[in-house]
Amino acid sequence: MVAEQQQPAKLRLAIFYGGKSGEHEVSLRTAAAVIGALDFDKYDIYPVFISKQGAFRLGSPLQSAQVGVEQLQFSESGGDLLQTLFEQSGETFDVVFPLLHGTYGEDGTLQGLLEMANVPYVGTGVLASAVGMDKVMMKKVFAEAGLPQCKFIHFTKSQWLQMPDQILAQAEQLLSYPNFIKPANSGSSVGISKAKDRDQLQAAIELALLFDRKVLIEEAIDGREVEVAVLGHNQIDASVVGEIVPSNEFYDYKAKYLDGKSEMVIPAVLSGETSELLRKLAVKAFEAIDGSGLSRVDFFVERTTGEIYLNEINTMPGFTPFSMYPLLWKETGKPYGQLLDELISLALLRHEERQALKFSLE
Tell me which H or E stretch contains 54. Answer: none
Domain count, the chain: 3
Tell me which H or E stretch contains 92. Answer: none
Provide the CATH number for the domain around residue 138. Answer: 3.30.470.20
* Mean predicted confidence (pLDDT) in 38-47: 94
Together in a domain, 276 and 336: yes
Which is catalytic among the residues 186, 296, 325, 350?
Answer: 296
To the query of whether residue 188 is one of the catalytic residues in this protein, the response is: yes
Tell me which H or E stretch contains 77. Answer: none
Does residue 361 fall inside a structural domain? no
pLDDT of 258 reads 46
Which is catalytic among the residues 51, 177, 257, 331?
Answer: 257
Of 9, 11, 79, 80, nearest to 46 (Cα)? 11
Cis (ω within 30 of 0) for the bond into 98?
Answer: no
Which is catalytic among the residues 106, 107, 212, 312?
Answer: 312
Range of the domain at 191: 152-219
Together in a domain, 213 and 239: no
The residue among 179, 200, 219 that closes a domain is: 219
pLDDT of 55 reads 84
Together in a domain, 201 and 312: no
Does residue 3 fall inside a structural domain? no
Together in a domain, 168 and 194: yes
Does residue 128 fall inside a structural domain? no
Which is catalytic among the residues 18, 105, 108, 318?
Answer: 318
Residue 326 backbone dihedrals phi, psi, to 5 degrees: -65, -30
pLDDT band at 58 (very low <50, low <70, confident <90, very high): confident
Together in a domain, 102 and 240: no
The residue among 195, 219, 243 that closes a domain is: 219
C-alpha distances (whole Å) from 267 to each of 55, 149, 250, 253, 324 are 41, 23, 20, 23, 11
Together in a domain, 60 and 188: no
To the query of whether residue 314 is one of the catalytic residues in this protein, the response is: yes
Does residue 112 fall inside a structural domain? yes
Kindly report the pTM of this predicted structure.
0.89
To the query of whether residue 252 is one of the catalytic residues in this protein, the response is: no
pLDDT, tens digit, 9 for 90 and up, residues 213-230:
999 999 999 999 999 999
pLDDT, tens digit, 9 for 90 and up, residues 305-340:
999 999 999 999 989 888 999 999 999 999 999 999
Cross-strand partners of 18: 50
pLDDT of 257 reads 46
Does residue 282 fall inside a structural domain? yes
To the query of whether residue 185 is one of the catalytic residues in this protein, the response is: no
